[in-house]
Every structure is written in C-alpha cells, then in structure tokens.
Amino acid sequence: MQPRVFPAMYWFITFIIMIFIRGSTLVFANDDERYVNCSNLFDCGDIKGVGYPFSGSNRPEYCGYPGLKLDCSDQDPEITIQKLTYKVLDINYQSRNLSVARKDYAENICPTLLLNTTWIPNLLNYTSDDHNITIYYGCPAQGAPSFANSSQFPCTAMTGYFTAVSDLSAFDSFPSNLISYLASCNDSIEVPVRESALQKIVSAPTVTQLLEGLNEGFDFVWNDSLCVTCKASGGQCGYNQNTAAFSCYCKDQPREFSCQQSPPGAQSPTAAQSPSMSSCLLLFFSAGVTLEVNRKTA
C-alpha cells in the first residue's frame, strides 16, 4: 500500500506559508514609528505632497524643522512663523521656495498688531527678488511731505504712511523734512514684496496698489542638503528635538545623516526576522521525505 504523503504535505505547507506571511507582517509592523509617520505627506487645497522641512496634519512635529508647521484652514494652507501667520501660496521643491503672503494684510492695511515679517535664520532666507516696503504708523495727521514712492493713509485712531524702496540705504537720501516727519511716527514695520509688485507700487503709490502688492506675497528659500542625502539612502527626513539636530529616520532606527551608516556586518532585519521562501521549501521537502521513510519502515 502506497504511503499517504500528500495530505500531510498539504497541511504542512499551509502551516509554513502562514508562518511566512505572519513573519513578513511582523517585519512591516516593526518599522520605526517615526520612519512610518514621516513617510506621510501634507495635503491642503492646491498644496499637495509636502514633506520635510515641514510638519503638520498627519506629519508629527519631529518630521519637520522647528517652527515650520503647516495648518489647513478651510482648504487654505497656512504657516505661523514666530507668531505671524502667513497664507501659503506655493511650495516648490525643485527650487526649494516657500511662497507666502501675510494674512494680517489680506484685506486691511491697518492690522491690529504691528509685527515685522520674520524668518528662521540658517534655514529660511529671502530671495534676491524680495524688496522691503516700510510702513509707518501713528504719524502726525498734518504736515506729511509729498515724496515719490510714498503715500499717507488713515487708520482708526492713527495715521499711516508708507515708503516703497528697494534698499534700506535709500532712507539716507530722503529729504530732511521727510526724515523728521517719519521720526515723529510711533511705529514702523517692514514687509517684503516681489520686484514686480514693488514696481507697481512705485508707479502708483496708493493703498489699493500696496495691498495688491502685499497679497502677491514673497518668497523664502530653504536649504535641505542633509535631507537629500537621507532620502537617497531610503530614509525619511526629520528633526531630533532632544539633540536639536537633523535626523534621518530609517526603517530600523534613526541615524544622523544616512540609512547607509549601519555597522559593518550588521544583519538585515528582514533577513533575520522572517523565514525566506527557499527555507520554507527546504523544510517542506525534508518533512515529506521523513514521513515517507517512517511509513515504509513501519
């Protein structure tokens, strides 16, 4: 009588396949949580697929540089940098440009709080296309001198005055009566605009033109050379808040710059934790032979 090997072989291979599938699942489940979370991308309105150096939404803060957290308000992406909220107009990864416009000047030239435009040193810098508009507040209602590229405007309980110049050194060329007038104003702030907006404001220095220019926004450029190295090695970019430094999140653990920094001779987690198909087949055929021999000798 022929030995009934196949039913036993069927159940054995089913068991081995289940072990193989479960082993594979455990490998994925054991991926570093920070690696998994920082694989997510930020989407809001027309701004999609945003990763490092930004965090926000489904990207925890350790996935981005401190202070670069994005929010989504009614499908409008926003970012708050040092207490000042900006509307995000565009994020271009090819040129590494963050294009923003100040929300407090969206419709009104007289904001509640007077805050200078801010940035993050060593990460964000203005582009060569950005120029400053200086806006003065709390100026005398009377005695404002007429000057090219400038205009006076009313605010509740105070008078405003703005000058459109491409270089702060131009202030030294102002006539003495204008310098004296501006010195009597209570506050002043600087807001960047693009070159194209500046030229429009200079040609027609009105509040309407000023608001339009401010709402066209301006650009920051960022540097992420460390992230390029990390991504090329298969990692996800992030920031270690404990060490206050860039971190490359890899599948097994964070590393300083690249996932290729594993110790020499280190075994791959996948190879160590999951049985390969070849080993499963070897076990299968060994078991089949053993069953047949045992039945023949019985």
pLDDT of residue 139: 86
Between CA 53 and CA 237 the distance in angstroms is 8
Q: pTM, whole model, 2 decimals? A: 0.72
The tokens for 79 are: 């970012």
Q: Which residues contact 99 (CB under 8 A, 6 or more apart)?
A: 88, 89, 90, 91, 92, 217, 218, 219, 220
Helix 6-29 to helix 277-297 angle, to the nearest 10 degrees? Answer: 150
Domain that holds residue 174: 97-220
Q: Are strands 97-102 and 84-92 parallel, antiparallel or unpaired?
A: antiparallel
78 occurs within a structural domain: no
Between CA 267 and CA 263 the distance in angstroms is 9
Number of domains in the chain: 1
Give the strand order in the sheet containing 84-92: 70-73, 76-81, 84-92, 97-102, 218-222, 124-126
252 occurs within a structural domain: no
Walk along the chain (298 residues) in steps of 10 and give the mean pLDDT of each run. Answer: 52 51 44 92 95 95 94 93 92 94 91 85 82 86 76 78 61 77 87 89 86 93 90 95 92 91 42 34 31 37
Burial track 65-98 (b if 16+ CB lie within 10 A, e otherwise): bebbbbebeeeebbbebeebebbbbebeeeeebb
40 occurs within a structural domain: no
Q: Which residues contact 275 (CB under 8 A, 6 or more apart)?
A: 16, 19, 20, 23
pLDDT of residue 122: 73
- Contact in structure between 200 and 209 (CB atoms under 8 Å): yes
pLDDT of residue 231: 95
pLDDT of residue 103: 94
